[in-house]
């Protein structure tokens, strides 16, 4: 690609990178100014000292000796966590580390292999979230496009009006509540699908059985996500197609006597493709946040559920910062991908 294509993408990348840094700095600032960071670290030091006190009380009976060890350990710990400095001296290092993906260690949360590195924990959970979101997105897109294109040939028909109502209603349907309803129906009443989790207990042996078990557990959450997004997506594709179908070049193509299927493929779909791709990627980015709710409902151990867990119990600062950074990074990356694809798909975009 020529410089005329590269430059706008680079500009966009720089601006999205700025978003990432702004979010990170703002987050760290807020954690510091509100004293939230100090509180978390204080609690952490207190907890470790309590554990230490129990251990040494078993070996020593002299209370003075115990206090001395504890006091020494407190100073050491405070230094280790940076509590001897104010937050504004401690935080810049945190920002710098996170920006180079050095996400630090979690306090209580562990990855499956026992690693307490936040990067490991996130990398373990990221594929699970991506699996859930992309599978449902692909299913929604395939059904949505098929029905959307079909509907666009019959605007104003009964099916068309029906879909517009379905779209309006499912727009007001929170995915997490739809998930609860599906658990009630399929898991509690019919008892044919698991209510949550990712694997059965005990987990099945072997790769194939294990994968099937995972798919079995993913069925309800994916069904939920497809159910709440299918109506609006059909409606959006239908409207996009209709918009293009009313443009002059389509009328000209028809006047030339081209076959309808060729018009639809070459003259409508080709032109409607960029906004369709935009919609898809924006949908994926938007569903990232929604993953927090849907994974909580289905106890799906992805990034969203981890995010919720970090906040609901004892907050763990390194995990909070690492995860929020990753969420923002993924979101921003999706946006950037969008810009790049746009340049390729739409020959009119040249930013000149």
Instruction: By CB under 8 A, name the binding residues for another protein.
Output: 15-16, 18-19, 22-23, 27, 30-31, 34, 36, 155-156, 164-165, 168-169, 171-174, 176-177, 180-181, 183-184, 188-189, 195, 239, 242, 246, 285, 288-290, 292-293, 296-297, 307-308, 311-312, 315, 320, 323-324, 327-328, 330-332, 335
Contacts of 124 (CB under 8 A, 6+ apart): 111, 112
Helices (H), 153-206: 158-171, 175-182
Q: Which is nearer to another protein, 161 or 266 (CB)?
A: 161
Q: Which is nearer to another protein, 77 or 228 (CB)?
A: 228
Q: Which is nearer to another protein, 77 or 178 (CB)?
A: 178
Q: Which is nearer to another protein, 77 or 283 (CB)?
A: 283
The first and second tokens of residue 182, run together, are 């599906």
Q: How far is the CB of 249 from another protein (least distance, A)?
A: 17
Q: How far is the CB of 246 from another protein (least distance, A)?
A: 7
Pairwise CA distance, residues 342 & 275, whole Å: 9
Q: How far is the CB of 176 from another protein (least distance, A)?
A: 6
Helices (H), 172-316: 175-182, 207-245, 248-255, 260-262, 270-297, 303-312
Q: How many CB atoms sit inside 10 A of residue 150's CB?
A: 15
Q: How far is the CB of 184 from another protein (least distance, A)?
A: 6
Q: How far is the CB of 17 from another protein (least distance, A)?
A: 11
Contact between 195 and 109 under an 8 Å Cβ cutoff? The reply is: no
The full DSSP string for 38-101 is HHHHHHHHHHHHHHHHHHHHHH---HHHHHHHHHHHHHHHHHHHTTTS-HHHHHHHHHHHHHTT
60's torsion region: left (phi>0), alpha (psi -120 to 50) or beta? beta
Q: Which is nearer to another protein, 300 or 327 (CB)?
A: 327
Which of 345, 332, 267 lies closest to 12 in space, CA to CA? Answer: 332
Q: Which is nearer to another protein, 70 or 166 (CB)?
A: 166
Q: Which residues pair with 117 in a beta bridge?
A: 105
Contact between 203 and 230 under an 8 Å Cβ cutoff? The reply is: no
Q: Which is nearer to another protein, 58 or 348 (CB)?
A: 348
Q: Which is nearer to another protein, 110 or 335 (CB)?
A: 335
Q: How far is the CB of 27 from another protein (least distance, A)?
A: 7
Q: How far is the CB of 248 from another protein (least distance, A)?
A: 14
Pairwise CA distance, residues 349 & 352, whole Å: 8
Q: How far is the CB of 267 from another protein (least distance, A)?
A: 18
Pairwise CA distance, residues 349 & 338, whole Å: 13
């Amino acid at each position: 690609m020529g410089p005329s294509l590269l430059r706008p993408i680079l500009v966009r990348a720089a601006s999205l990178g700025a978003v990432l840094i702004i979010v990170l700095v703002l987050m760290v600032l807020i954690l510091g100014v509100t004293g939230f960071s100090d509180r978390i670290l204080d609690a952490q030091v207190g907890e470790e000292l309590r554990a230490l006190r129990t251990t040494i009380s078993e070996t020593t009976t002299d209370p003075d000796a115990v206090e001395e060890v504890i006091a020494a350990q407190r100073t050491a710990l405070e230094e280790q966590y940076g509590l001897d400095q104010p937050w504004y001296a401690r935080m810049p290092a945190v920002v710098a580390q996170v920006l180079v993906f050095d996400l630090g260690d979690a306090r209580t949360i562990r990855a499956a292999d026992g690693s307490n590195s936040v990067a490991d924990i996130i990398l373990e959970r990221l594929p699970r979230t991506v699996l859930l979101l992309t599978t449902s997105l692909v299913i929604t897109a395939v059904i949505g496009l098929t029905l959307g294109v079909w509907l666009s040939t019959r605007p104003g028909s009964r099916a068309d009006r029906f879909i517009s109502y379905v779209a309006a209603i499912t727009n007001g349907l929170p995915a997490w509540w739809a998930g609860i309803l599906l658990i009630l129906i399929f898991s509690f009443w019919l008892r044919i699908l698991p209510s949550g989790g990712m694997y059965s207990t005990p987990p099945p042996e072997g790769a194939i059985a294990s994968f099937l078990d995972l798919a079995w557990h993913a069925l309800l959450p994916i069904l939920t996500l497809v159910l709440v997004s299918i109506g609006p997506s059909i409606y959006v594709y239908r409207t996009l197609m209709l918009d293009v179908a009313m443009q002059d070049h389509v009328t000209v193509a028809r006047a030339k006597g081209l076959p309808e299927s060729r018009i639809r493929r070459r003259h409508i779909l080709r032109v409607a493709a960029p906004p369709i791709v935009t919609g898809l990627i924006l949908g994926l980015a938007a569903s990232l946040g929604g993953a927090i709710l849907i994974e909580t409902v289905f106890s799906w151990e992805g990034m969203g559920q981890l995010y919720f867990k970090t906040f609901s119990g004892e907050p763990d600062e390194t995990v909070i910062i690492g995860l929020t950074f990753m969420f923002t990074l993924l979101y921003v990356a999706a946006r950037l991908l969008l810009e790049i694809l746009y340049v390729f798909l739409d020959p009119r975009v040249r930013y000149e």
